[in-house]
């Protein structure tokens, strides 16, 4: 099934409460979902984490296996596979001051259709020939990992929301190393910039997952 803007499936998900699970309201779009993001990585928990826990509403917790297929010359285009069930391509399409503007360009569940191969070829031509109607997560991982910089991560994610801003606190394991990531996401830049300031985070210290993995 090929789709856009559908939630991913996690290895383990803990629901918090029915009221908390209501998603942040976004303007309805006919094209790919677009959003603004700030993210950074830490070796130790920053003070902002406790502030988020105290002032944001918890949404859900999950443990997820994410596989990344990255190309050094295209670090702002991120191809990832989640829990061997969903494949998506995200692209950074611009900036707003220190913030990054992203779009979720394409997204598909397994089994993948041939039409997805043509679509992914528009963004990452090197991966196009790997898609067939018989492709499953194992065969696609084997093929794509030979054509890209391949990273496998385990994420323990906690999602929160406060008004129009969503916060993500992740404990990420890459190989034998563990990191902490804090991300703030909104469909508008203004509330995001206010939250970055309120939480005491550094606006210019903005690093997305692709750049972090390729620089690690």
**Taking Cα atoms as reference points, which of 212, 90, 208 lies closest to residue 151?**
212
What's the farthest any 2 CA atoms get from each other in the chain?
49
How buried is residue 160: exposed, middle or buried, by Cβ count under 10 Å (0-12/13-18/19+)?
A: buried
Q: Which range (55-69, 89-103, 127-141) has the least confidence?
A: 127-141
Residue 81 has pLDDT above 70, yes or no: yes
pLDDT at res. 13: 47
pLDDT at res. 146: 94
Strand partners, 64: 155
pLDDT interval class at 132 (50, 70, 90): low
pLDDT at res. 90: 96
Q: What are phi and psi of 199, to 5 degrees?
A: -85, -5
pLDDT interval class at 47 (50, 70, 90): very high
Residue 67 has pLDDT above 60, yes or no: yes
- Sorted by sequence, the CB contacts under 8 Å of residue 17 that are 6+ apart come out as 58
Q: Which domain holds residue 196?
A: 10-20+32-103+149-215
pLDDT mean over 122-141: 81
Domain-located, residue 37: yes
- What distances in angstroms separate CA 173 from CA 32, 65, 115, 147, one per listed residue? 29, 10, 33, 23
- The DSSP output letter for 103 is E
- Sorted by sequence, the CB contacts under 8 Å of residue 14 that are 6+ apart come out as 60, 61, 62
Provide the token pair at 204. 């210019």
Q: For the chain, how many structural domains are there in total?
A: 1
pLDDT interval class at 130 (50, 70, 90): low
pLDDT mean over 57-70: 97
pLDDT interval class at 133 (50, 70, 90): low
pLDDT mean over 55-63: 97
What pLDDT digit, counting tens, does each position of 146-198 carry? 999 999 999 999 999 999 999 999 999 998 899 999 999 999 999 999 999 99
pLDDT at res. 3: 41
pLDDT at res. 112: 81
The CATH number of whichever domain residue 62 belongs to comes to 2.40.320.10
Predicted TM-score (pTM) of the model is 0.83
Residues 8/62, Cβ–Cβ less than 8 Å? no
Domain-located, residue 185: yes
Over pLDDT 70: what percentage of the chain?
83
pLDDT at res. 88: 94
Domain-located, residue 112: no
DSSP alpha helix (H) spans, 91-208: 114-123, 137-147, 189-198
pLDDT at res. 72: 86
Average pLDDT for the chain: 86
Reported as type and span, the H/E element at residue 94 is strand 86-96
Domain-located, residue 97: yes
Domain-located, residue 45: yes
């Amino acid at each position: 099934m090929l789709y856009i803007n559908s939630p991913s499936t996690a290895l383990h998900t803990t629901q918090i409460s029915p009221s908390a699970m209501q998603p942040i309201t976004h303007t309805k779009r006919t094209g790919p979902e677009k959003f603004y993001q700030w993210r950074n990585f830490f070796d130790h928990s920053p003070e902002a984490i406790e502030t988020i826990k105290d002032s944001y509403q918890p949404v859900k917790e999950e443990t997820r296996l994410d596989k990344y297929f990255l190309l050094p010359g295209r670090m702002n285009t991120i191809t990832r596979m989640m829990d061997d069930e969903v494949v998506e391509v995200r692209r950074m399409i611009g900036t707003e001051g220190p913030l990054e503007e992203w779009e979720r360009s394409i997204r598909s569940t397994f089994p993948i259709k041939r039409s997805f191969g043509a679509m992914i070829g528009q963004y990452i031509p090197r991966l196009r020939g790997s898609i067939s109607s018989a492709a499953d997560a194992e065969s696609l991982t084997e093929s794509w990992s030979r054509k890209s910089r391949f990273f496998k991560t385990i994420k323990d994610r906690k999602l929160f929301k406060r008004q129009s801003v969503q916060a993500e606190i992740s404990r990420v394991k890459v190989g034998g190393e563990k990191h902490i990531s804090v991300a703030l996401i909104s469909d508008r830049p203004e509330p995001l910039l206010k939250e970055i300031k309120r939480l005491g985070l550094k606006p210019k210290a903005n690093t997305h997952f692709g750049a972090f993995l390729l620089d690690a």
